[in-house]
Structure 1
């Protein structure tokens, strides 16, 4: 029974990933800031779970979380660094604080969790690391400079780590969703409504049309891509697109 750790497990994509890993027989440590949301995720999981409230941007979070998992079940074998957030603003309205927040959450926190996972995975000769990136890790769009920079950075981290660990039995991949039907996308819709005067339905349709399939991606579809990365020992250093065909 593999030991998995999922950050950002309280809702949305993270919750779907936790459900999928649990259904596949993994023990799953659930990490997020909101204890109530974590408990809701735990109730939807099929097997053994352990709830660990934590802010992944804290400098000691990776050490504390991994230590708690190791004490309970042993070393983390599957890491899914999913916690993240977005930010939208014109370049000249993006503050230093906005910029730093995106880097701290979307790039530095995954780096710390990956770094903490590697020694035990390397020693065991097996490990799976999946980092949640975005289509913004590969493309640039207006008004999301800080978010895009952080996601480009995390894809670079994934590729470098995969190259370094290629002969160890440890794989490292990024999953790059388009617009997913999650609370984070609801925030994007609210921003569009506030800045353009469109209705929420119109804003949602605009995002849905960005995918050639004409709809938002479902969280379970992203979780399926994560599970593919876990199952495969030959796929590493990749950016797995889950974008409805947006990038060919």
Structure 2
């Protein structure tokens, strides 16, 4: 395998039904990979992979390790061993620190950190056995810096970057690479929903709310999900075999 040719590779994308995950799934398909997407919304997953037998989906909640393992087993039985894992599923919660109770922190850690860990544990054994694997976690600039009012989210994403760096060191001689991509605020439905909440709670216009997001990006814009997908494609390719333990920022120069 060389460059961006992923023909014959089987990729699993968690949270692949929408947003960044869907863009990644589409890019992997275009590069020749066989793709399995997971998530909780069956209709979104079906739409992401389209018709035909080449690709597939499994309904699974990443916070449930048994469900993740079952999804991996099902995908491997139907389409062969998983060689590329894109641990994308995530969620964000916004609140002042003093109003962020234990439930908020648990939810952020369960989805954003443990969801990555469970998926990686489910695929890593066969990857090591076959001497090849690519694990890419979709983290965030919030894994590399702090933002106000999202302390639980930032803590979880920092933990993801730590997980990536540690697992990369542990697997460095196995043929498996482990990396993270760290997008800034991206033009997804998740951001759109956040904008809706800001408008509802503050009475600001949508343009004013959007300006709060794009001000972090020196280019003054939201990131296109396809830009994140391109970074993931490169990390999955043969020419990135010496790249492991990295947190690659896609944020217009913010970091």
TM-score scaled by structure 1? 0.96
Map of 2:42 onto structure 1: 35
Q: 2:124 aligns with which of 118, 129, 133?
A: 118
Aligned to 1:16: 23
5+ residue gaps, structure 1: none
- Aligned mates of 1:164, 1:88 — CA distance in 2: 34
The answer as to whether partners of 2:60 and 2:68 remain within 8 angstroms in 1 is no
Instruction: Identify which of 159, 167, 172 aligns with 1:161.
Output: 167
1:1-248, aligned counterparts within 5 Å?
1-43=8-50, 48-231=54-237, 232-247=240-255
CA distance in 2: counterparts of 1:142 and 1:209, whole angstroms: 14
C-alpha distance in structure 1 between counterparts of 2:130 and 2:26, whole Å: 25
Deviation at residue 109 of structure 1 after TM alignment: 1.2
TM superposition shift of 1:145: 0.6
4+ runs deviating over 6 angstroms: none
CA deviation profile, 1:25-48 (whole Å, cap 9, x unmatched): 1110010100111111112x9982
| Alpha-carbon distance, 1:205 to partner | 2.3
For residue 220 of structure 1, report the CA deviation from its aligned partner. Answer: 0.3
Residues 187-209 of structure 1, C-alpha deviation per residue, up to 9 Å, x if partnerless? Answer: 22123223332111211122122
Q: Offset at 1:238?
A: 0.3
CA pair 138-47 structure 1, distance change in 2 beyond 3 A: farther
Offset, 1:131: 0.3
Which residues of structure 2 form unaligned runs of 5+?
1-7
Aligned-pair distance for 1:13?
0.3
Q: Secondary structure at the match of 1:30?
A: strand
> Within 2, Cα distance between the matches of 1:64 and 1:172?
22
How far apart are 1:182 and its partner, in Å?
0.2
TM-fit CA distance, 1:76: 0.6
TM-score (norm. length: structure 2): 0.93
**Kept after mapping to 2: 8 A contact 1:26/1:48:** no
Secondary structure in 2 matching 1:80: strand
- SS of residue in 1 equivalent to 2:92: coil
